[in-house]
Structure 1
Amino acid sequence: MTNKKKKKESIVERKLVGKAALFVTILAIFTSLFHVWMNSASLMIAIKKNSIHLGLMLGLTFLMYPASKKSPKDRPSVLDWILCILGISIGMYIFFTYDSLVERSLIPNKCDYIFAVIAILLTLEAGRRTVGYILPILSICFILYAKFGYIFPGKLAHQGFSWSRILTRMYLTDAGIFGITLMVSASYVFMFILFGSFLSKTGTAKFFNDFALAFAGRLRGGPAQVAVMASGLMGTISGSSQANVATTGSFTIPLMKEVGYKPRFAGAVEAAASTGGILMPPIMGAASFMMASFLGIPYIKVMYAGIIPAIFYYFAIFTMVNFEAKKIGLKGMDKSQLPDIKKVIKNEGHLMIPIIIILILLIKGLTPLYAAFFGLIAVIITSMLRKSTRMNLKKFIEALEEGAKSAVPVATACGVVGFIVGVVSMTGLGQVVAYNIMQLSFGQLWLALTLVMIASIFLGMGLPASACYIITASIAAPALIKMGVEPLAAHFFAFYYGTLSAVVPPVALTSYTAAGIAGANPTEVAFSGFKLAFAGIMIPFMFVYSPILLMQNVVVWRLILAIVTGLLGIVSLGAAAENYFISSLRVYERILAFIAALLLVKPGIISDAIGIGLLILFVSLHYIRYKKAQETNVAL
C-alpha cells in the first residue's frame, strides 16, 4: 500500500454506533434545521451567523473524525467530547458577547483572548482531521508571517503585528475566521449541499445515470461516455467532485469494467468527469459563491460565465475518452442493454423540476439563498408526484443528517482559509506577490498566466478546490488584474485551476475516491485522471484571452468564432496528449497538433488562421499516412 493511500485512509469518518451515533444524528439534524431557519427567517448579523455555523461544524467534526489511526473508529474519545463542547462554545461565545464587544469599541478583555486562542487551535485541528495537514500548516505559516514579518527579506518584509492584534483580527472581527469564506459556507454552500442531499434521496442520481445511459450508451466507449454525461448532469446539483464520484461512479465504474476498461482507466474517467461537477452551473462549487462575494457581483453572472468553460471541460474529457476507446478498440453498448429514454423521462423526468425552478429564480435575479430555500421546498413537493421517488419521514431525516455531515469538510476548510485571507489583508501580501509576478513575467501576460497556473496546481496538490481558489485569488489574481485581465476572468482562472486540484497528483482526492470504487491503485488512477483532464488545461488561457467566453461584452459572431476555435484547440491538444487520432501519431504529427492547439488559444485572425492551417496540415498528413498504410497492409 502506498503512502498516499495511507494518507487518504487517515481522513475517514468514524462508523459510529450506539448513543454516540444517535447524538451525532440529532446534532446533524438540528444543524440542518437551524441553518434553514437562519438563512430564511432569521435577521442575524453575519458574524453571529458565521460563529454559530463554525461552532456546530466543529462539534460535528470532533465526533465524526478521529484524531489519528489509533483513535477509536466506532465512538468518540473523552478528548473528542471535550473538544466538541469547546468547539460549540467558541461559536456561542461570539454569539452572546459580540454586542458587548462592540460597546467596548472592539477592545478585547482577557476572556476574549482565551477564547480566541482556543478557537484558532480548534479550527486548525478540525482542518487537519477533515482535509489533512497541508492547509493547517500553510495557515500557521501565514500567521507566523503576520507576527514575524520583519525578519523576511526585501519587499516581503513588514513591521510585524502583536499577538493581541492577530488574535483580535482572527477571532473577534469578520476579517479572520468569521470572514467572507465562512460566510459563504454558512449560507449559500450549506443550503445547496442540503439541497443536493434532498435530491439524492428522491433518486435523482439514478435518473441522471439512466438518462445518460439511454442517451450516450451507444457511443464509442459506451459506459465511459455515460460516466462523462452522468457526471456532468450530477454536477449541476452536487457542486462536489467527490460526491459526484460516489453517486455516479458506483454505477458507471462497474459498467466500464464489465465492457473491457481496465480498473485504472475506469476510475480515472469517473474522477476526471466528476471533477467538472465543480464547474457545472447552476450549482457550482463553493468557490463560485466565494468568487461572487469577492468580486461583489450577483451569483447569476458567475453562473453565466461558467457555462462555456464547463461545456469545454466536458468536451475535452469526451474527446480524450473517445481517443482512448478508439485506441483499445471499444465500441458502444447494444441497444438491448439500454433503457428507453422516453420511459426514463416519463417516470423520472419530474425530478428535474427543482433544478429548473432554481435556474428560473437565479435568472430572475433572486439571491442564491432564496433559490436554494425554494429549491428545497420544490424537491419535497415534486418527489410526491411518483411513488418511486416519494420522500417518507425516514428519507427526510436522512437528508437532513447527510446534508449537515457533508458540509463539515467544506466549513472547516473555509474556517482555516480565513486565517490566510486575514493575514493577506493585514500585511498587503497580495500586492507584494502581484508585483513580483509582474516582475518575473517581464510584463508578458502569457508568462504571468503560466506562473499563476503553476502556483495554483502546486497549491492544489494538497488543498481542497475552494481553499486553493481563495489563496490564489487573494495573492495571484491581483497581478493578472494589474496586467489588464478582466477581474472575472482573473478570478475564474484561479477558480478553474483550483478545481483541477481534485485530479492533480499526488494528492488527488477525487481520484482516490474513484480508485476505491474501481479496486485500482490510487496513484495510477490519479495520474491517468490527470492525463484525461489534460486536454482541458488550456481552457483558462482561452477565456483570459477571450473574455467573451465568460459571456463578457458578447458579440455573437465573435462568440461563435471563439467557441469554434476553442473546440478545435481542445481536439488538437487531446490528440497530442493521447498520442492518437485515427491511429497512433508520429512525432512530427504530435508536434503539429500541439502547436496548433497553442495558437488556437489566443484570439486573433492571424493566430486563428495559422492554428487552423496547422490543424488541417496535421489531419491531412495523418489521414494520408493512415490510408496509405491500410492500402499497403502495413502495421500502423
Structure 2
Amino acid sequence: MSADAALVAAHGPVIAQGVDEEPMAPNQRDPRAGTGTLIAILCAAYTLFHLIVMVLYPLETWAYRMIHVCGGLVIGFLTYSALTQGDGDSDAPSRRGAVQTVLLGVALIGIGYGFAVIAYAWGAWWLAGVAMPPAFGFRTYGMPLAIGTIAAIVAGWRYSSRNRGRIYPADLLLCLASIAVLGYILFIVGALRMRAGTGMAQPGDFWAALTGVILILELTRRLTGLALVIIVAVFIGYSFLGPWLPGFLNHRGYTPTRFFTYIFTDQGVLGDPIAVSSTYIILFIVFAAFLQASRVGDYFVNFAFACAGQARGGPAKVAVFASGLMGMINGTSAGNVVSTGSLTIPLMKKVGYSPKSSAAIEATASSGGQILPPIMGAGAFIMAEVTGIPYTDIVIAAIIPALLYFVSVYFMVDLQALKLDMKGLPRSELPRFGTLVRQVYLFLPIVILIYTLFAGYSVIRAGAMGMASAAVVSWLTPYKMGPRQIFRALDMGARMSIQLVAVCAAAGVIVGVIALTGVGARFSSLLLTIADQNQYLAMFFAMCISIILGMGMPTTAAYAVAAAVVAPGLIQLGVPVLVAHFFVFYYAVMSAITPPVALAAYAGAALSGSDPMKTSVEAFKLGLAAFIVPFMFFGSHELLMQGEVVDIVHATLTALLGMFLLSAGVIGYYFGQASGLVRIVLIGAALSMIAVGLLSDIVGLTVAALLFLWQRKMVSPASLAQGSD
C-alpha cells in the first residue's frame, strides 16, 4: 500500500495533498536528466552553505552576503528564463539569425575576458601566493564584462528557448558574469570597504558594481515582473537628476563611480534587506520546505478542514486559518494564494461563494499571513534588524493587531455565509477529526519553534531546531524523511528563496539611494510640515505613500522601502519607533490587496476566473480592518501590548466588538439583512468602538444595542419617537 493510500485508509478522505507545493512559474525551467540533477545539487549546496555558516562556522559579513547574492543569481539564471516557457520542443528557429550570433559572441568575449581575469587573479593567489591583483587586468576587465552582460541579457529577451527543459547559452554566461562580480569584490573587499562611495573608488570597482546591479535587476524582472525594476530605475535616475529637480527632491548629484560603488556596500545591496534575506528569511523558507517535504503542511490544512469544513461557508473559514498560517511561513502573499488557493478557491465556489469572493477571501487571508506572528513572513526579522528592537518584543506587539485582522476577516466570511444561507462540505467528504486529533503531535515543529524563540534561544538556533523537529516528526507519519527527502527539502529551500534574494537585493538599491541622497530626511521634514496642520493628516499621507511604494512589489521589499522612506518621518513626529514601523509595515503588506495594483488579488482572480479589478476591490473590503488597525494602535499603544494589563484587555475587547460591527456593516448582515442606512450606522458605531476613550465606547455600545433591537423588530421609529417624548 502506498503512503497516500495508507493516509486515506487511516484518516478518511484527504482534502489537502501537496497544498503548499510551489506551482511552476510561466518562465520557470524544468531541466531533466543530468542537467536537472546538477542544478538540484547546486541548490542543496547553496542551502547547506547557509545552514553551516549560520549554525556552525560564521563567515565574514561582506563575503557571506556576496556569496548569498551571487549564489541566488546563479541559481536564478539557471532556473528562470527571460521568456515564458512552453511544454513543447519548439525553439522558434525562424527567430534565429546573425543578430543572435553577434549578441552571443559579444557576450562570450566580454564575459569570458572578465571572468578569465578574475580567475587568473585568484589562481595566482592560491597557487603562487600573489596577493596583488594584476594591474592591467583589473583596469581593463570591467567594461567588457558589463557590455557582455548587457549583450547576454538582450539575447535572452529576444532569443531564449521556449522549451522548459533547455538552458539558453546566454543564461550560462550570466552565471559566469555573476561569479566574476563576486570574485572581484571578494578579492579586494578590504580595500573596497575603505574606498567605496568616495573619490578613491577605482574604475574596476565601478564596473563590478554596475554589472552586479544590472544582473540583480534582470533576475528581479524574471521573478517578479517589471514593477519593482521600474521603481528601482526611478530611484537610480533620481540619484543623477537631483540637481535639476525642485523643492525637497533637489540634491547635488553624484558621479556614476561614486554612486554605484556606494550602492554595492552594506549601505545598499549588502545592507539590511540582504542581511535578513541571508539569515532569517532563508532559514524559515527552508523550515517551510522541511514542513512541505514531510507533508506536515498538508496535515495543517486537513486538520483545519476537519475542524471547520462542515460549518457554514466552511472552506472559506479554512482558507482564513490555513492560508494565514502558510502565508506566515512562506513570506509571499501572491505565492501563497497560488499554492493554497488552488485547493481552497474551488471548494469555496462549491459551497456557494462567487468566484470573486472566493479569490478575495484567499488573497485577504494569504496577505494576513504576513502580519501573523511569530514569523510574519520575515517582516518581524527585518523590523528587528532595522530598528534594533528585540525580535520577541516585536512578535508580542504583533499579537493583538493580527488577532483583530483575522477576527474581522472571519466575521466577514461567516456573515456572508449567513446572509447567503450557505452550507459547509458534507462530513463524508472531510477528513476524520478524531483521527487527526490523535496526530496533533504534528504541530510540534511550530510549537518547538515558538517555545525556543521565547525561551531565549537565538532566532537562528530556534529555526534550526524547528527544522530538525519537522524531520523527526515525519517518522511518525507515512512520509518519513530520509536522505532523499532531506536533499529534496534543501533543494526546494533554495528554489523557494531565490525570489526573496532578488527582491531584497533590489530593495537594497533603493535603500542605498535613500541613504546617499538624504531624501528620507527631506521626506521627514515634509511630514513635519503637514503635521503642523494636523497629525492625523500626516499619518494619512504616510499611509498613502506606504501603499503606493508597495504596489506591485513583494511585501518584503515593500516594507524595506517604506521603513527607509516613511518610518523616519513618523519617528520625527514623536511616534514611538515600534509604532511607526508597525504602521508602515501594515500598509506595505496590504498593498497586495489594494487596487489598482493588487498582486495577491490578481493571483486569486487568475485561479477563480473572476475579474481581477473587481476581485481586488472585494479583497480590499474584506481586509478593511488592516487599513484601520494601524490608526487604532497609533492612538492606543495598548493594542501593541504597551501599558497596564487592564488597559490592554479593555482596548482589545472594545476593538474586537468594533471589528464585528465593521464586518456587519461591510457585509450588510446584522442579525438579519441590513439596509443601506443600517450599514452606514454600523460602520459609524464600529469606528466609535475603535476610537480610544470611554465616551466613544459607550456611544458605540448604545448604537449597537439599538440596532440589534431594530433588526429584531423590538423597536420601531414610532417607539423611538415615544421614548424621546
Does the alignment reach a TM-score above 0.5?
Answer: yes
Q: 1:88 to 1:520 in 2, by over 3 A?
A: farther
Q: Give CA deviations for 1:342-387 in whole Å, capped at 9, x if unaligned.
A: 320323x222212112112210222211211222222222222x14
**1:599 equivalenced with 2:688 (yes/no):** yes
Q: 1:415 to 1:399 in 2, by over 3 A?
A: same
Q: Which amino acid aligns with 1:340?
A: R
Alignment match of 2:515 (pick from 425, 432, 457): 425
Alignment match of 1:168 (pick from 257, 261, 266): 261
User: Counterpart in 2 of 1:633?
Assistant: none
1:209–1:248 Cα contact (<8 Å) kept? no
Q: Distance in 2 between matches of 1:609 and 1:433?
A: 39
User: Counterpart in 2 of 1:233?
Assistant: 325
Q: CA RMSD in A?
A: 2.4
Q: Distance in 2 between matches of 1:324 and 1:571?
A: 13
Q: CA deviation at 1:335?
A: 4.1
Q: Distance in 2 between matches of 1:278 and 1:492?
A: 12
Q: Please give the secondary structure, in 1, of the residue aligned with 2:422.
A: coil
Q: Distance in 1 between matches of 2:455 and 2:477?
A: 32
Task: Between 113-122 and 583-592, report the one with greater CA deviation.
Answer: 583-592
User: Counterpart in 1 of 2:381?
Assistant: 289
Q: Give CA deviations for 1:554-588 in whole Å, capped at 9, x if unaligned.
A: x1111111111111221222222223323332232
User: Counterpart in 1 of 2:118?
Assistant: none
Q: Which amino acid aligns with 1:380?
A: A
User: Counterpart in 2 of 1:380?
Assistant: 471
User: Counterpart in 2 of 1:476?
Assistant: 566
User: Counterpart in 2 of 1:614?
Assistant: 703
Alignment match of 2:524 (pick from 434, 439, 461): 434
**1:302 equivalenced with 2:391 (yes/no):** no
Q: Which amino acid aligns with 2:651?
A: A
Q: Distance in 1 between matches of 2:223 and 2:702?
A: 50
Q: Distance in 1 between matches of 2:338 and 2:675?
A: 39
Pairwise mapping of residues 157-306 of structure 1 onto structure 2 (< 5 A)?
A: 157-171=250-264, 173-306=265-398
Q: 1:597 to 1:177 in 2, by over 3 A?
A: same
User: Counterpart in 1 of 2:619?
Assistant: 529
Q: Which amino acid aligns with 2:403?
A: I
User: Counterpart in 2 of 1:127?
Assistant: 220
User: Counterpart in 2 of 1:363?
Assistant: 454
User: Counterpart in 1 of 2:178?
Assistant: 87
Q: Give CA deviations for 1:295-332 in whole Å, capped at 9, x if unaligned.
A: 10221111111111111111111011112112211033
Task: Between 252-261 and 304-313, report the one with greater CA deviation.
Answer: 252-261
Q: Distance in 2 between matches of 1:179 and 1:372?
A: 22
1:212–1:229 Cα contact (<8 Å) kept? yes
Q: 1:263 to 1:102 in 2, by over 3 A?
A: closer
**1:462 equivalenced with 2:555 (yes/no):** no
1:11–1:130 Cα contact (<8 Å) kept? no
Q: Distance in 2 between matches of 1:409 and 1:104?
A: 31
1:28–1:405 Cα contact (<8 Å) kept? yes
Q: Distance in 2 between matches of 1:151 and 1:444?
A: 31
Task: Between 219-228 and 525-534, report the one with greater CA deviation.
Answer: 525-534
Alignment match of 2:229 (pick from 126, 133, 136): 136
Q: CA deviation at 1:264?
A: 2.7
Q: 1:488 to 1:583 in 2, by over 3 A?
A: same
Q: Please give the secondary structure, in 1, of the residue aligned with 2:373.
A: coil
Q: CA deviation at 1:131?
A: 1.5
Q: 1:353 to 1:95 in 2, by over 3 A?
A: farther
Pairwise mapping of residues 70-109 of structure 1 onto structure 2 (< 5 A)?
A: 71-73=160-162, 74=164, 75-102=166-193, 107-109=200-202
Q: Distance in 1 between matches of 2:641 and 2:501?
A: 31
Q: 1:66 to 1:236 in 2, by over 3 A?
A: closer
User: Counterpart in 2 of 1:632?
Assistant: none
Q: CA deviation at 1:101?
A: 3.3
1:238–1:283 Cα contact (<8 Å) kept? no
Q: Distance in 1 between matches of 2:63 and 2:79?
A: 24
Q: 1:400 to 1:512 in 2, by over 3 A?
A: farther
Q: Please give the secondary structure, in 2, of the residue aligned with 1:388.
A: coil
Pairwise mapping of residues 563-574 of structure 1 onto structure 2 (< 5 A)?
A: 563-574=652-663
2:27–2:82 Cα contact (<8 Å) kept? no
Q: Please give the secondary structure, in 2, of the residue aligned with 1:285.
A: helix
User: Counterpart in 2 of 1:58?
Assistant: 73
Whose Rg is larger? 2
Q: CA deviation at 1:43?
A: 2.2
2:248–2:519 Cα contact (<8 Å) kept? no
Q: Give CA deviations for 1:433-471 in whole Å, capped at 9, x if unaligned.
A: 122123234442322222122222222321111121122
Q: Distance in 2 between matches of 1:524 and 1:292?
A: 36
Q: Give CA deviations for 1:121-143 in whole Å, capped at 9, x if unaligned.
A: 11111111112212122122222
Q: 1:112 to 1:259 in 2, by over 3 A?
A: same
Alignment match of 1:25 (pick from 35, 40, 46): 40
Pairwise mapping of residues 500-539 of structure 1 onto structure 2 (< 5 A)?
A: 500-539=590-629
Q: Which amino acid aligns with 2:443?
A: M
Identity of aligned residues (%): 36
Q: Distance in 2 between matches of 1:380 and 1:9?
A: 25
Q: Distance in 2 between matches of 1:104 and 1:459?
A: 32
Q: Please give the secondary structure, in 1, of the residue aligned with 2:376.
A: coil
Q: Please give the secondary structure, in 1, of the residue aligned with 2:55.
A: coil
Q: Please give the secondary structure, in 1, of the residue aligned with 2:56.
A: coil
1:33–1:400 Cα contact (<8 Å) kept? yes
Q: CA deviation at 1:104?
A: 6.8
Q: CA deviation at 1:155?
A: 2.5
Q: Give CA deviations for 1:88-140 in whole Å, capped at 9, x if unaligned.
A: 33233323331343577984333222111101111111111112212122122
User: Counterpart in 1 of 2:435?
Assistant: 343
Q: CA deviation at 1:47?
A: 1.5
Q: Which amino acid aligns with 1:556?
A: V
2:248–2:523 Cα contact (<8 Å) kept? no
Q: Give CA deviations for 1:467-499 in whole Å, capped at 9, x if unaligned.
A: 211222211112222222211111011111111
Q: Which amino acid aligns with 2:650?
A: L
2:371–2:398 Cα contact (<8 Å) kept? yes
Q: Distance in 2 between matches of 1:49 and 1:503?
A: 35
Task: Between 609-618 and 419-428, report the one with greater CA deviation.
Answer: 609-618
Q: Distance in 1 between matches of 2:691 and 2:574?
A: 15
The gaps in structure 2 that reach 5 residues or longer are 1-22, 85-157, 718-725
Q: Distance in 2 between matches of 1:460 and 1:240?
A: 13
Q: Which amino acid aligns with 1:48?
A: A
Q: CA deviation at 1:284?
A: 1.4
Q: Distance in 2 between matches of 1:547 and 1:522?
A: 36
TM (norm. structure 1) is 0.91
1:599–1:608 Cα contact (<8 Å) kept? yes
User: Counterpart in 1 of 2:506?
Assistant: 416
1:536–1:570 Cα contact (<8 Å) kept? no
**1:34 equivalenced with 2:49 (yes/no):** yes
Q: Which amino acid aligns with 2:469?
A: A
Aligned residues: 617
Alignment match of 1:485 (pick from 572, 575, 585): 575
Q: 1:582 to 1:77 in 2, by over 3 A?
A: same
2:332–2:555 Cα contact (<8 Å) kept? no
Q: Distance in 2 between matches of 1:22 and 1:155?
A: 54
Q: Which amino acid aligns with 1:132?
A: G
User: Counterpart in 2 of 1:5?
Assistant: none
Q: Distance in 2 between matches of 1:333 and 1:223?
A: 8
User: Counterpart in 2 of 1:631?
Assistant: none
2:329–2:377 Cα contact (<8 Å) kept? no
Q: Distance in 2 between matches of 1:626 and 1:188?
A: 57
Pairwise mapping of residues 579-590 of structure 1 onto structure 2 (< 5 A)?
A: 579-590=668-679
Q: 1:322 to 1:602 in 2, by over 3 A?
A: same
